């Protein structure tokens, strides 16, 4: 089961945010969005919870990173299902 999470990374105000972004971009399973002030939006993808935890923990070790907040988690159990399938099954 593939897992996808949206994160918001908070960096120290005096850190080299470009260096943090370079480290993130270099890691497989990490997609980096456009930074806004000291915040960097990131999407991480892993095969399981262990892989997710490893990525999340690794991000927290990057110099300049102060917090890693989870904004969204998606457990991709049903890749072929449409949104209508979920609406009908919930009724």
28-79 pLDDT, tens digit each: 999 999 999 999 999 999 999 899 999 999 999 999 999 999 988 786 565 4
What pLDDT does residue 56 have?
Answer: 94
What are the C-alpha distances in Å from 35 to residues 8, 63, 67, 80?
A: 10, 16, 14, 32
Predicted local confidence at residue 71, as pLDDT: 87
* pTM of the predicted protein model: 0.77
Residue 13 DSSP symbol = T
Backbone angles phi, psi at 6, to 5 degrees: -100, 130
- Report the C-alpha gap between 43 and 25 in whole angstroms: 11
Cα 74 to the center of its chain, rounded Å: 11
Show the domains of the chain with their CATH numbers: 2-90 (3.30.70.920)
């Amino acid at each position: 089961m593939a897992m996808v999470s949206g994160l918001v990374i908070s960096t120290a105000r005096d850190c080299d945010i470009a260096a943090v972004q370079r480290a993130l971009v270099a890691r497989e399973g990490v997609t980096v969005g456009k930074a806004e002030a000291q915040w960097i939006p990131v999407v991480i993808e892993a095969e399981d919870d262990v892989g997710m935890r490893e990525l999340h923990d690794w991000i927290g070790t990057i110099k300049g990173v102060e917090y890693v907040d989870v904004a969204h988690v998606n457990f991709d159990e049903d890749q072929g299902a449409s949104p209508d399938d979920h609406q009908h099954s919930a009724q």
